[in-house]
């Protein structure tokens, strides 16, 4: 195969989907050598069948706001690939959501889920509805309206949604409630549920904790201790918060958090006490990160900026796609950063990735280092199936084992002749081979 030809053909078929094409191009370029060793893949047109989603549901959602106005939003579920297990992946509510973004996320999810070693296919859903500035009643009515359409396409053995940007415990609760009522069954359709109704301990923490576990494995390859290291984090949502928490537990010093309006830099470091304030600010008061600098005046708020110009040892982007561009990456390298571990999905542009790899930084793509979230979702599905709940220690220890395994696979498939570990290549090849073999065994469908 010539990866370029496939990408060119997809560009012609889906010209208005830049994020989708970006994600596909990265994977195809890094698996090309392995793919060429398997002529049977080419005969079965495996690549196109793997890049194009199985199906996409697109629908209008209508709901009534608090003033009695009828609102409409566009909503979607991309069921990308089911070869190794039921469709699995989060739901994103954000004004930027469109088919390109959800297709890139569902594509990435397919490889990420394969890496977890658990039986989960890849999917993603969402809507251009933004919960920000909406009352809880409005959010509930929107979630219910979204489920009214989607419920018939999901189920514990077909498609299991979860959270993502704009979808946390509150939204999952409302969607699960409506799903349960419409289906008339109590099943584990949805992960990230409340602990009282089938949620798993450690699932809220899992993406951030998993990313820090992965970071520690990367640092270990160079005998570097995480203790005392200064870390730049973007975002202040689920992933950012629990990344910060695990870093504090391990003696590292988180310096920044952000939202789409700007970032805060705390020269004294973010402590657990300050983090508890952030959790309350974001999850209960639903406030903005700028308020941190009002509460802790030694911290500085930078309006309209991202944190990548600050001096630090480690960078953990945990907000959204393409939030680190080529110029940011140059600053990060110039500042002497040793590791970039992605919590968000595709936060670095191709130019940024090339800059990190050229400088031989420890750099892990989201599909490897943020896989702890969906992996723990897989553990929640297992607990729901056996109608049992595992202890926090048991889930955390399984999460650690899974992240260690993903790291080993990256080393196995991604180590280059000079010893540099190309985590992008490693993750893409390991994920691809598992899904490809399953698809080959199951015939042309
Ligand atoms: P949350 O909604 O909890 O938090 C998102 C954070 O990122 C908020 O602080 C938000 O700020 C900020 N953000 C969102 N969009 C933008 C933007 N366009 N520019 C700048 N900042 C932005 O989401 P999560 O923490 O769950 O998700 C963060 C990332 O991690 C996403 O890329 C997601 O796909 C990925 N991820 C999430 C997993 C999970 O388990 N939740 C698992 C694996 C990956 P604001 O309040 O201003 O919108
Ligand atoms: O991007 C992701 O891996 C998630 N948003 C979590 C998906 C899940 O099903 O837990």
Report the atom number in ligand 2 closest to the C-alpha of 370: 3
| Ligand nearest the Cα atom of residue 93 | 1
The answer on pLDDT for 442 being more than 70 is yes
So which residues are the catalytic ones? 124
Asked whether residue 124 carries a pLDDT value surpassing 90, the answer given is yes
| 179 in Cβ contact with 125 (< 8 Å) | no
The number of the ligand nearest the C-alpha atom of 123 reads 2
Please report, in angstroms and rounded to a whole number, the separation of the first and last CA atoms in the chain. 21
Name the CA radius of gyration of the chain, rounded. Answer: 21
Q: Which pLDDT band, with edges at 50, 70 and 90, does 5 fall under?
A: confident
* 251 closest CA partner among 223, 233, 217, 228: 228
What pLDDT was estimated at residue 246?
Answer: 99
Q: How far is CA 226 from the centre of its chain?
A: 23
Mean pLDDT value of segment 19-38: 95
Mean pLDDT value across residues 174-201 = 98
pLDDT tens track for 296-319: 999 999 999 999 999 999 999 999
- What is the spatial distance between Cα 310 and Cα 328, in angstroms, rounded to a whole number? 10
Which of 93, 244, 320 maximizes ligand 1 atoms within 8 Å of its Cβ, making it the mutation to test the pocket? Answer: 320
* Closest ligand to the CA of 243: 1
Is residue 1 pLDDT above 60, yes or no?
no
The pLDDT confidence band at residue 127, using thresholds 50, 70 and 90, is very high
Quickly list DSSP for 286-303: ---THHHHHHSTTSEEEE
pLDDT recorded at residue 443? 97
User: In this structure, are residues 377 and 383 in contact, taking their beta carbons and an 8 Å threshold?
Assistant: no
Q: Is the dihedral of CA 251, 202, 261, 234 positive or negative?
A: positive
Nearest to residue 345, comparing CAs of 173, 101, 121, 100? Answer: 101
Which residue in the block uniquely carries the two structure tokens 């002749």?
417
Please report the atom of ligand 1 found closest to the CA of residue 167: 2
CA of 238 to the centre of ligand 1 (A): 7
Inform me whether the pLDDT recorded for 390 exceeds 60. Answer: yes
Distance between Cα 319 and ligand 1 center (Å): 4
* Centre of ligand 1 from the C-alpha of residue 17, in Å: 20
Rounded to whole angstroms, the Cα distance separating 382 from 285 reads 34
93 CA to middle of ligand 1, Å? Answer: 10
Give pLDDT, residue 336. Answer: 98
Please choose from 122, 165, 169, 377 the residue to mutate so as to test ligand 1's pocket, defined by most ligand atoms within 8 A of CB: 165
Minimum CA distance residue for ligand 1 atom 43: 370
pLDDT value for 6: 85
Residue 58 token pair: 């697109």
The pLDDT-based confidence of 245 (bands split at 50, 70, 90) is very high
From CA 293, how far away is CA 295, in angstroms rounded? 5
Q: Which pTM was predicted? A: 0.98
Question: Where do the H-state alpha helices sit in 133-258?
Answer: 136-150, 169-183, 203-220, 238-249
* pLDDT, tens only, 317-367: 999 999 999 999 999 999 999 999 999 999 999 999 999 999 999 999 999
pLDDT at 108: 98
Residue 201: predicted pLDDT: 98
* Cβ-based neighbours of 279, under 8 Å, separated by 6 or more: 241
Query: Which amino acids bring their CB within 6 angstroms of ligand 2?
Result: 88-90, 109, 112, 162, 164, 191, 345, 373-374, 377
Q: Which pLDDT score, from 0 to 100, does residue 113 have?
A: 98
The predicted model gives 189-197 an average pLDDT of 98
- Residue 63 clears pLDDT 80, i.e. is over it: yes
Q: Check: CB of residue 240 under 8 Å from CB of residue 319.
A: yes
Closest CA to 314 of 369, 354, 351: 369
pLDDT mean across residues, the chain: 97
Q: Which residues line ligand 1 (CB under 6 A)?
A: 94, 163-166, 168, 207, 235-240, 259-261, 318-320, 343-345, 370, 373
Percent of the chain clearing pLDDT 70 (strictly above): 99
- Phi, then psi, of 233 in degrees rounded to 5: -120, 135
């Amino acid at each position: 195969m010539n990866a370029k030809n496939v990408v060119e053909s997809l560009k012609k078929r889906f010209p208005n989907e830049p994020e989708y094409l970006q994600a596909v191009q990265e994977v195809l370029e890094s698996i090309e050598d392995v793919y060429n060793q398997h002529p049977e893949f080419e005969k079965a047109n495996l690549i196109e069948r793997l890049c194009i989603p199985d199906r996409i549901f697109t629908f209008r959602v209508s709901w009534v706001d608090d003033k009695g106005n009828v609102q409409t939003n566009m909503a979607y579920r991309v069921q990308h690939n089911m070869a190794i297990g039921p469709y699995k992946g989060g739901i994103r509510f954000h004004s930027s959501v469109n088919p390109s973004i959800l297709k890139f996320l569902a594509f990435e999810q397919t490889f990420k889920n394969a890496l977890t070693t658990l039986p989960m296919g890849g999917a993603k859903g969402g809507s251009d509805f933004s919960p920000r500035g909406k009352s809880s009643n409005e959010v509930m009515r929107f979630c219910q309206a979204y489920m009214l359409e989607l419920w018939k396409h999901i189920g514990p053995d077909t498609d299991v949604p979860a959270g993502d940007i704009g979808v946390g415990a509150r939204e999952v609760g409302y969607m699960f409630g409506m799903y349960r009522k419409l289906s008339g069954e109590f099943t584990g359709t949805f992960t990230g549920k409340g602990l009282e109704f089938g949620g798993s301990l450690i699932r809220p923490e899992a993406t951030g904790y998993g990313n820090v576990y992965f970071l520690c494995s990367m640092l270990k390859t160079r005998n570097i201790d995480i203790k005392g290291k200064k870390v730049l984090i973007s975002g202040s949502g689920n992933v950012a918060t629990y990344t910060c928490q695990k870093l504090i537990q391990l003696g590292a010093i988180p310096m920044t958090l952000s939202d789409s309006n700007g970032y805060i830099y705390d020269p004294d470091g973010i402590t657990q006490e300050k983090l508890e304030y952030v959790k309350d600010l974001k999850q209960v008061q639903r406030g903005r990160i700028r308020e941190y600098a009002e509460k802790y005046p030694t911290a500085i708020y930078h309006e309209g900026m991202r944190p990548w110009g600050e001096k630090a040892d480690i960078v953990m982007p945990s907000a959204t796609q393409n939030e680190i561009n080529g110029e940011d990456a140059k600053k990060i390298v110039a500042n002497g950063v040793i590791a970039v571990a992605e919590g968000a999905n595709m936060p670095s542009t191709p130019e940024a990735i090339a800059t990190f790899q050229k400088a031989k930084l420890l750099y892990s793509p989201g599909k490897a280092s943020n896989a702890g979230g969906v992996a723990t979702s897989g553990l929640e599905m297992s607990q729901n199936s056996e109608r049992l709940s595992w202890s926090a220690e048991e889930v955390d220890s399984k999460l650690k084992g899974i992240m260690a395994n993903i790291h080993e696979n990256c080393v196995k498939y991604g180590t280059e002749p000079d010893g540099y570990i190309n985590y992008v290549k490693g993750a893409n090849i390991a994920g691809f081979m598992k899904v490809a073999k399953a698809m080959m065994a199951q015939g042309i469908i």
